[in-house]
Amino acid sequence: MAASFAPTAAHLRLGAFAGTWEGEERVAASAWTKEGTATAQLTAECLFGGFFVEQRYVQTRDGSTSFEARNILGFDAADQAYKLYQFDTVGFTPAAPASGEWIDDKLVLTKVSPRGQQRTLFQFENEDCYRMGVTFSPAGSDTWQEVVSGLYRRVASASSNLS
């Protein structure tokens, strides 16, 4: 008989992201894109009984898709930290996930790579609205630069894949 595992409250807290969201974004100029505004649609669902959340992100600028990502969020009980694995159209394979914690209503995750550090902040205003911001500090620098920021509102409730 297989062992039965159950997600903890820390795992289930990520269920706040489940559902369909739409948002307006401000995009900073970078080596990969020009400064401007964008819209985004995010669809997220709970996986494996609530242990993980998969988030599908599509950014649109000037009427066409400009960036896409697939994010897997989870909680690592071994080090008591939240993890974010991101795969996107920039194409870098993450050597390690971003790692962090909830501080009140904010989930703050930091990823370190040979290119530098990236910090992602999610701040819930309520169950149907959150803000997201990404900043980057190039390797060898202690200066943080904005990458993208947005405000997202829930447009549809979650459908869970709890199997």
User: Cβ(49)–Cβ(7) under 8 Å?
Assistant: yes
pTM: 0.88
Could you read off the pLDDT of 97-137 as tens digits, one per residue? 999 999 988 999 999 988 899 999 999 999 999 999 999 99
Q: How high is the pLDDT of residue 114?
A: 87
The yes or no reply on domain 7-152 and CATH 3.40.640.10 is: no
pLDDT band at 1 (very low <50, low <70, confident <90, very high): low
Residue 68 clears pLDDT 90, i.e. is over it: yes
From residue 100, give the alpha-carbon distance in Å to each of 68, 73, 108, 109, 111: 23, 11, 5, 4, 9
Q: Within 19-150, where are the H helices?
A: none
Q: How high is the pLDDT of residue 54?
A: 97
Residue 55 clears pLDDT 50, i.e. is over it: yes
All structural domains of the chain with their residue ranges: 7-152
